[in-house]
A and B are shown apart, each in its own frame.
Chain A
């Protein structure tokens, strides 16, 4: 009998040694291991590799919170194709704002062969999530130029901010409008929550629309958040908002942008 217990003890100890990386400090610890500032580095890649290209093709996914399996499958599918230049994630990387959720999803996205950027979703703001997002991915407002198209990526989760910071940030929108104007001749605006949604500051929805329409040759807008495919001319001014389904639906959008023109398709897998 005593020998039996000794075996149990030895098995337990070996399990302990085996599981040294299993220490979890706190769900909201903010302990980030691995790659950080991903948007900044990937934007450098996108701007360098596709500079001057007339045609660009990108995949737009969104709302992958707690759908790790489906996001992983998406990565496998996109990696099999060679026509996608880059990937934009429309936000909601985490569901509960847990530090580990950001890292789990980052590690899945890191397997992509093409560069990717991510936007801030409303779920990413929970608890100290926004701090984690800023460390891992970067500033929630940013822009990049792919080919000859400027992509303006905006934080529109006004409900999360308590007016402590401007959301949407009009001074950022204005400052980006003519920046590097010699390198682009058309624009696309990307956001998590679109105007009229529960997160958007709808008091300024038409002002927002006015300010983005000042951009050189605005083609269309991309959004996530609503977990369904959308194609709506919200302000009846010819600017279409294309919403992508959540990744849990195993669907995403592919946009092909050429000079003054674009096409899109909804892909299911």
Chain B
């Protein structure tokens, strides 16, 4: 059974392209707001709005958040940096480095993760506390080590194993709470607590095909904290 209808490398490139196109879309929407404003209001107000909107939505290479995560099929603990974008900060792209202790095997492992999250709804519970009832998305995880390959080595007959031991495609749904810091000048703007229920291609196909496997056999839980940096 072919688990990847498309080549994993192509998928990776496609996801990166999607990320940059979303970023440029977010930037151009900010630009659009600026233009509408300049045609309407008084000049002083326009200027302040203009710079504010532009800076909020503009893409910066400096990450807008840092995070730590527990579990999630990417390591015992992972640390990462993220970019939150679009006007309502509904989209975010995170890059995480995970550590897997050696447990009962010969060596510990490091993993890399690229995660794309979409958070469509926001509920303001309190002045400083907001709640996002849904966060969902996809993450790709690669594991370092020569035991793990993208495509089976040449020694095998072609299409012998039809899947990659190195690249996992995960999907997730979760929720988060964001606590905004009161100060307007602090380095951190807010702190976000999230949890995700996730599964990967290989777990999912095992779970779907077998009634024997229960929900918690192939669905995992991850907990994380995201520190959001203030953008001036």
Interface on A for B, CB 8 Å cutoff? 2, 5, 8-9, 12, 16, 19, 21-32, 66-69, 72, 95-98, 100-101, 104, 108, 126-128, 131-132, 135, 159, 162, 198
> Contacts A5-B125, A24-B72 given: A131-B212 contact, CB under 8 Å?
no
Say whether B163 faces chain A, with CB atoms less than 8 Å apart.
Answer: yes
What separation, in Å, do the CA atoms of A153 and B201 have in the docked complex? 33
Is the CB–CB distance between B206 and A66 below 8 Å?
yes
Chain B residues, Cβ within 8 Å of A66: 205-206, 209-210
With beta carbons under 8 angstroms apart, the residue of A25, A127, A135 that contacts B165 is A127
- Determine, out of B29-37, B46-54, B60-68, B101-109, the stretch whose residues face the partner at the interface: B101-109
What separation, in Å, do the CA atoms of A215 and B72 have in the docked complex? 51
Is the CB–CB distance between A26 and B111 below 8 Å?
yes
Chain B residues, Cβ within 8 Å of A100: 203, 217
> Contacts A96-B202, A131-B106 given: A25-B75 contact, CB under 8 Å?
yes
Is the CB–CB distance between A31 and B103 below 8 Å?
yes
Say whether B181 faces chain A, with CB atoms less than 8 Å apart.
Answer: no
Chain B residues, Cβ within 8 Å of A8: 133
Is the CB–CB distance between A26 and B74 below 8 Å?
yes
Q: How far is the CB of A165 from chain B (nearest CB, A)?
A: 14
Is the CB–CB distance between A198 and B210 below 8 Å?
no
With beta carbons under 8 angstroms apart, the residue of A12, A22, A68, A97 that contacts B220 is A22
Within 8 A of A (CB), among B20-38: none
What separation, in Å, do the CA atoms of A127 and B221 have in the docked complex? 23
Is the CB–CB distance between B111 and A68 below 8 Å?
no
Is the CB–CB distance between B210 and A28 below 8 Å?
no
Chain B residues, Cβ within 8 Å of A159: 155-156
Say whether B195 faces chain A, with CB atoms less than 8 Å apart.
Answer: yes
0/1 string, B219-230, CB within 8 A of A gives 1: 111100000000
What separation, in Å, do the CA atoms of A100 and B217 have in the docked complex? 8
What separation, in Å, do the CA atoms of A158 and B156 have in the docked complex? 11
Is the CB–CB distance between A5 and B131 below 8 Å?
yes
Say whether B90 faces chain A, with CB atoms less than 8 Å apart.
Answer: no
Chain A residues, Cβ within 8 Å of B136: none
Within 8 A of A (CB), among B134-169: 143, 147-148, 155-157, 160-161, 163, 165, 168
What separation, in Å, do the CA atoms of A68 and B71 have in the docked complex? 25
Interface residues on B, range: 35 or more
Which of B98, B102, B105, B161 lies at the interface centre, i.e. has the most chain A CB atoms within 10 A of its CB? B105
With beta carbons under 8 angstroms apart, the residue of A25, A132, A135 that contacts B76 is A25
What separation, in Å, do the CA atoms of A66 and B168 have in the docked complex? 17
Q: How far is the CB of A108 from chain B (nearest CB, A)?
A: 7
Given contacts A30-B102, A98-B202, A131-B105, 15 further A-B contacts (CB under 8 A): A2-B125, A5-B125, A5-B131, A19-B216, A26-B75, A26-B111, A27-B200, A28-B165, A69-B212, A97-B165, A126-B161, A127-B165, A131-B106, A159-B156, A198-B160
Is the CB–CB distance between B216 and A26 below 8 Å?
no
What separation, in Å, do the CA atoms of A187 and B24 have in the docked complex? 71
Q: How far is the CB of A17 from chain B (nearest CB, A)?
A: 11
What separation, in Å, do the CA atoms of A132 and B149 have in the docked complex? 18
What separation, in Å, do the CA atoms of A24 and B217 have in the docked complex? 9
Say whether B100 faces chain A, with CB atoms less than 8 Å apart.
Answer: yes
Q: How far is the CB of A85 from chain B (nearest CB, A)?
A: 26
Chain B residues, Cβ within 8 Å of A24: 71-73, 198, 220-221
Chain B residues, Cβ within 8 Å of A2: 125
With beta carbons under 8 angstroms apart, the residue of B72, B148, B155 that contacts A28 is B148
Chain B residues, Cβ within 8 Å of A72: 212
Which of A21, A22, A132 lies at the interface centre, i.e. has the most chain B CB atoms within 10 A of its CB? A22
Say whether B213 faces chain A, with CB atoms less than 8 Å apart.
Answer: yes
Is the CB–CB distance between B165 and A16 below 8 Å?
no
> Contacts A25-B71, A27-B200 given: A68-B210 contact, CB under 8 Å?
yes
Say whether B123 faces chain A, with CB atoms less than 8 Å apart.
Answer: yes
Is the CB–CB distance between B210 and A69 below 8 Å?
yes
Say whether B118 faces chain A, with CB atoms less than 8 Å apart.
Answer: no
What separation, in Å, do the CA atoms of A254 and B113 have in the docked complex? 48
What separation, in Å, do the CA atoms of A165 and B193 have in the docked complex? 48
Chain A residues, Cβ within 8 Å of B143: 26, 28
Is the CB–CB distance between B206 and A27 below 8 Å?
no
The 8 closest A-B pairs by CB, nearest first: A24-B220, A30-B105, A23-B71, A22-B221, A68-B210, A68-B212, A127-B165, A31-B103
Show 17 residue pairs from A and B whose CB-CB distance is below 8 angstroms, ordered by the A residue: A5-B131, A5-B133, A19-B197, A23-B220, A23-B221, A24-B73, A25-B76, A26-B109, A26-B111, A32-B104, A69-B209, A95-B206, A96-B163, A97-B165, A100-B203, A104-B206, A126-B161
